[in-house]
Amino acid sequence: MFKKPIANIKPYSPLRSSDRRKFREELIKHYPILENVENKSSDTSCNLLVPEHIQKANIGTHNGHLGVLYVDEFKQPLWVRLDKDRNEILIPSVYTLWKHPNMLPKIPTFTAVISKLISGANFMIPGIAFPPEGLPDVKEGELVSIVIRGYNIPLAVGIMNVPTNTLERGSTRKGIAVTILHISQDHLWTIGDKSLPPDMDEVQEDQSVENEEEIEEISNENKEITEFTIEDIDNILQASFYQALTEKLTPSGILPITSSQFYSEYILPSRPVGNENIDVKKSSYKQVIKFLKVMEKKGIIGLKVRQGDTLLTKVNWESEELQTFRSHKSIEKAASAKLNETCMDENLDKIQIIEIYKPKGAIAEFFEKQGKIKENFYEFKEIRTIIFDYINLNKLMDKKNRRYIVLDENLREMLVTKKAEVVPVTLTRNDLVQYIMERMDEYHLVTFPKNEPEFRKGSPKCIQILEERRTYNKIATIIRGFEEYGFSSNELSEPLKQLCASSVSVTQNQYSSPKKPLYEIMIQGPHTKHVINHLVNKKGFPEKYIQITASKKGKNNNNKGGGGDGK
């Protein structure tokens, strides 16, 4: 996470006393063991966890994650609140871990592994040094610290990628054990005083590793490639370049694009399967620009330097190299096939709902200018990528606040409506995407198990669950809209009757058409959780499309004084 310098860091601001107390309470909630550091009511305890002069600053990492960095008065990093894919996590720095070494479960490794982790690798399963007492019980997704076996001080913090109860000593299982978030000597560590862990000089090289292969397997970036000569690597890189042009860019693709974007998003994913470690640094070219200039001399592409960036501006699709090139199974293809296979297995008995959008008017023209087919349908992620690529290519970020982008003429045209409302000068990226999507035609695909997708206009309708207070303050759970997804009232009412252990009735919805009647299921009692569980886990319905309404008074509520068993 911090193997590269922090991309963006805002000015620091101090925390108020009330915010310090709230922050300390939040830390105790996340890490209960810290409550025993000092007496709960002691001011020194607050000073230890949340110092009096603690400051915070908003940051952005090199890979696009946003967060908040907390430092003490000497700018020593203490905590990072990271919005990782919107699942917010609160991470202690190694400086904090050295003060409270037991606040996280510890996963031990070998001394030689640490250098691999510091270089940016993730912690692989073969790199675990299983202690005699076994690993701590940690679930997937929980935070852990990394220690050297026999040395109690954490050197890194990360997210457990697999439950520890599935790992065994002597197993040949491979894969990532821990995704490293922060480690000593990374760029978060360099913000502080760059001190080393206590008693680090006492750590001896662990002699229990029987062979170097165990160490090399801790990272998918550290596999041996000694069987490849420099010429082999050059050829692999060149084949990846050809495949990127013929399969990922295509003649209708958007140009120009920056050399760095073309390398990272087009060439690297096009490497042949099994060559994940091959990159331009291991080739004779050493640099992306040098490699691309060689390809330009061959007459395959055209380059142009603009404002310091080298851009790929044209492709000679008639070149002999591209005409005779035979594609290979790429890393991207293999990953996509595996994902599709997994999704097919997981979703065999589930209802799939995919929201799609069709551009129209000025938006359709904009999509066409970006090399997209305006008659096509697009998912949210595709729309966001098209917009973000355009923003990055044209450098529309606001220099004073990079959270915002300055709308150019093309973007403003898409936001103009017939009502001629005022178009903002600046917008956040996400707000811009939302504005554009609101001006597109909505559709959705519904796929029932073992059936072809059904194409439907408009946004998906939700199955509605309502808890309603009725006569004598009794609660009834009402379900509506299930016919939209092929469920009959009998199909749902009978199992729910047994699941909820309550009476269930089916009546016609008074607002439905007589020619096409719709029904509602009413269950006596508050059974929303049971209904959701049945729809999601038994019937395979996406929980996202279940609308829940809190309890409210019904029209026939005659209760004025409380409960009772009125009949």
Q: What is the pLDDT of residue 121?
A: 79
Give residue 223's pLDDT: 43
pLDDT of residue 66: 81
- d(C-alpha 449, C-alpha 351), whole Å: 6
By the 8 A CB rule, do 182 and 95 touch?
Answer: no
Asked whether residue 297 carries a pLDDT value surpassing 90, the answer given is: yes
Question: Rounded CA gap, 558 and 535, in Å?
Answer: 33
Q: What percent of the chain has pLDDT over 90?
A: 29
pTM above 0.75, yes or no: no
pLDDT above 70 as % of the chain: 83
Average pLDDT over residues 53-77: 85
Of 381-385, 514-518, 531-535, the least confident: 514-518
Task: Among 10-24, 39-53, 167-181, 262-276, name the one with the lowest average pLDDT.
Answer: 39-53
Mean pLDDT over residues 291-320, rounded? 91
State residue 72 phi and psi, 5-degree precision.
Answer: -85, -175
Residue 356 pLDDT > 90: yes
The contacts of residue 76 (CB under 8 Å, 6+ apart) are 93, 95, 191, 192, 193
- Residues 215 and 110 sit within 8 Å (Cβ to Cβ): yes
Q: Of 147, 220, 140, give the one whose Cα is nearest residue 184.
A: 147
All structural domains of the chain:
8-216 (3.10.400.20), 230-331 (1.10.10), 352-443 (1.10.245.10), 463-553 (3.30.780.10)
Cβ atoms 366, 416 nearer than 8 A: no
pLDDT at residue number 563? 37
pLDDT at residue 559 greater than cutoff 50: no
Q: Pick from 234-243, 341-350, 368-377 the range whose average pLDDT is largest.
A: 234-243
Q: Between residues 225 and 465, which one has the greater pLDDT?
A: 465
Give the pLDDT band (50/70/90) at residue 335: low
Residue-level pLDDT at 314: 92
Q: Could you report the per-residue pLDDT of 122-171, keeping only the tens digit for each?
A: 888 888 988 877 889 999 889 999 998 878 899 999 999 899 988 887 77
Cα dihedral 289, 291, 294, 298 sign: negative
Tens digits of per-residue pLDDT, 450-497?
777 888 999 999 999 998 887 777 889 999 999 999 899 999 999 999
Residue 393 confidence class, pLDDT cut points 50, 70, 90 = confident
> Mean pLDDT throughout 224-234?
68
pLDDT exceeds cutoff 50 at 221 = no
For residue 207, what pLDDT is reported? Answer: 41
Answer whether residue 388 shows pLDDT above 50: yes
pLDDT at 219 over 50: no
Mean of pLDDT values over 432-453? 88
Does position 447 have pLDDT exceeding 70, yes or no?
yes
H or E, element range at 196 = none
The pLDDT of residue 216 is above 70:
no
Helices (H), 416-560: 429-438, 489-500, 528-533
The span from the first CA to the last CA of the chain, in angstroms, equals: 63
Do residues 350 and 450 make contact, with C-beta atoms less than 8 angstroms apart? Answer: no
Q: What is the mean pLDDT of residues 361-384?
A: 88
| pLDDT reading at 440 higher than 90 | yes
Q: Residue 137 to residues 30, 165, 238, 342: CA-CA distances in angstroms? A: 17, 6, 47, 27
